[in-house]
């Protein structure tokens, strides 16, 4: 059986479904979780759905606080990031289309930097602005 729940840098990520066309993940971030750097990934888009708590989603220079029941669409070509700036945990799901990026989470959880870099490269994942 393939592992579906991962602990990555203090966050918990559970792969709910993974197909070539769609991946759905369930995330729990602790209070103060800084999130990834501002980034792009032209190979996929995301829809965030907050279930509990408050998630700060930055898209370009605008930050939106997204609460329970709220959704936020982010095009992969647009620089963005997310963080938990609240004093409590936040739980949210992300629909990623097309699928396949779950391999990045698996590699990150395993400490496989080369595997994570390969998965990231397949989708054009990179920090923004590009160095």
**Has residue 2 been placed in a domain?**
no
24-39 residue pLDDT tens: 999 999 999 999 999 9
**Has residue 81 been placed in a domain?**
yes
Question: What is the pLDDT, as a whole number, of residue 28?
Answer: 98
Question: What is the pLDDT, as a whole number, of residue 1?
Answer: 40
Domains held by the chain: number: 1
Per the DSSP assignment, residues forming a β-bridge with 11 are 8
* DSSP line for 63-78: EEEE-TT-EEEE-TTS
Question: What is the pLDDT, as a whole number, of residue 111?
Answer: 95
CATH code of the domain in which 20 resides: 2.60.120.10
**Has residue 1 been placed in a domain?**
no
**Has residue 117 been placed in a domain?**
yes
Question: What is the pLDDT, as a whole number, of residue 55?
Answer: 98
Give every strand in the sheet of 126-127, ordered side by side: 62-66, 55-59, 80-83, 39-40, 126-127
Residue 37, judged by CB atoms within 10 A of its CB (0-12, 13-18, 19+), counts as exposed
**Has residue 44 been placed in a domain?**
yes
Low-confidence ranges of the chain (pLDDT < 50): 1
pTM: 0.94
What domain range is 16 assigned to? Answer: 9-125
Question: What is the pLDDT, as a whole number, of residue 43?
Answer: 97
Computed from CA positions of residues 111, 90, 38, 122, in that sequence, does the dihedral angle turn out positive or negative? Answer: positive
Question: What is the pLDDT, as a whole number, of residue 3?
Answer: 67
**Has residue 3 been placed in a domain?**
no
Pair of tokens at residue 36: 């990834």
Question: What is the pLDDT, as a whole number, of residue 2?
Answer: 58
């Amino acid at each position: 059986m393939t592992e579906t729940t991962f602990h990555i840098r203090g966050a918990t990520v559970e792969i709910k479904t993974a197909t070539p066309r769609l991946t759905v993940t369930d995330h729990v971030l602790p209070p103060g979780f800084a999130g990834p750097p501002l980034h792009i990934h032209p190979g996929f888009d995301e829809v965030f759905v907050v279930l509990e708590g408050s998630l700060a989603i930055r898209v370009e220079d605008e930050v939106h606080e997204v609460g329970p029941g709220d959704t936020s669409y982010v095009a992969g070509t647009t620089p963005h990031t997310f963080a938990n700036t609240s004093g409590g945990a936040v739980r949210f799901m992300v629909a990623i289309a097309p699928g396949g990026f779950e391999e990045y989470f698996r590699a990150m959880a395993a400490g496989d930097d080369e595997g994570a870099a390969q998965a990231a490269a397949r989708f054009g994942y990179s920090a923004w602005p590009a160095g």
